Amino acid sequence: MLKLILLSTAIFFSAFAQDNPCPTTQWKYDETSNSCFLPSKHHSTFTDATTYCSGFNSTLVVIHSQQIETAVNTIVYYEDSRSVWWIGLQRSSPQGNFTWVDGTPLNYTDWQSGQPSNTLGANCVGVFLKSGLTGGWQNVPCVQQQPFICFIPNAVALPTSNPKLCPPGTYQGPSGSIQSPNYPANYPNNADCYYLITVAAGYKVNITIVSFRTEYCCDWAYIHDGNAESSPYLASLRGVVPAGTSYKSTGQFMLVHFTSDESTNDTGFNMTYTAVAN
């Protein structure tokens, strides 16, 4: 239950996030799934809802995981828990298979009991809450007018690390640590690693050096205030940086980029981060 409360808080605080990566502040950013959601209470047919979402280069929501399902159910719960809400699942006829509007495979389902039904014309799918945040899918006629949710997955494009050399690239708050490859052993030559740290919307990332040793001329760690390489620099670090030095983002993201050149290496770095409110 705590998890759901935190998620709903994160979703509903997102309008205030300085770093909301979604198209407009009406969209809600869920950092757990790195997705943007736009609820619309304008009751629409499935086709009209689809057209509306495509105006934002988005689709009706496509659900491939429990995380997305939870985000959808949370939105429905707070916005209008008595309606069926369109999701981006449909079939061409009662004999056809259900397919997602973005063409991705149907590899996760949450049908309500007795669903999908064979009712004539019931070729489009909506989510309906039965109690609290618990709900499921049902197929209904596509011409029904219902609220809907537009969706943009993978809202933040992470620059790609060299996967053979680098630790995992994404880190979720509220606290954790990042290390150079092989730490505390020496990092390899020609490393090119990105670390995207995300904390809940409304919070900031406070990162602290535990240890930092690199080749002074040529092996750098860049700390960006945001989620992209184009985001402003908080620091460009090399050589020895004293333990306890800390840097703070202005929004919910911090991107660290580490590069080493083709010769000479050292132990690299260990840094810890926490989500802070101010």
- Segment near ligand NAG (CB under 6 A); pick from 8-16, 31-39, 109-117, 268-276: 268-276
- Closest by Cα among 119, 162, 125 to 258: 162
Judged by CB under 6 A, does residue 206 bind ligand NAG? yes
Judged by CB under 6 A, does residue 108 bind ligand NAG? yes
Total residues in contact with ligand NAG, by rule CB under 6 A: 27
Instruction: Name the residue type at position 220.
Output: W
Q: Closest CB to ligand NAG among 81 and 189?
A: 189
Asked if 145 and 52 touch (Cβ cutoff 8 Å), the reply is no
Q: Pseudo-torsion of CA 170, 171, 173, 179, nearest 10°?
A: -150
Q: Closest CB to ligand NAG among 8 and 252?
A: 252
Judged by CB under 6 A, does residue 96 bind ligand NAG? yes
Judged by CB under 6 A, does residue 158 bind ligand NAG? no
Judged by CB under 6 A, does residue 242 bind ligand NAG? no
Distance between CA atoms of residues 175 and 147, nearest Å: 37
Distance between CA atoms of residues 220 and 258, nearest Å: 6
Three-state secondary structure call for residue 41: strand
Q: Closest CB to ligand NAG among 5 and 185?
A: 185
Q: Closest CB to ligand NAG among 121 and 132?
A: 121
The closest residue (CB) to ligand NAG is: 188
Q: Does the N-terminal peptide bond of residue 105 adopt cis geometry, omega within 30 degrees of 0? A: no
The least distance separating ligand NAG from the CB of residue 80, rounded to whole angstroms, comes to: 25
Q: Which residues contact 230 (CB under 8 A, 6 or more apart)?
A: none
Contacting ligand NAG within 160-199 (CB under 6 A): 177, 179, 183-184, 186, 188-189
Residue 134 CA from chain centroid, whole number: 22
Judged by CB under 6 A, does residue 73 bind ligand NAG? no
Judged by CB under 6 A, does residue 248 bind ligand NAG? yes
Strands 99-100 and 246-248: unpaired
Judged by CB under 6 A, does residue 272 bind ligand NAG? yes
Instruction: Name the residue type at position 250.
Output: T
Asked if 196 and 227 touch (Cβ cutoff 8 Å), the reply is yes
Q: Which residues of the chain form contacts with ligand NAG (CB under 6 A)?
A: 56-57, 64, 96-97, 104-105, 107-108, 177, 179, 183-184, 186, 188-189, 206, 208, 210, 246, 248, 263-265, 270, 272, 276
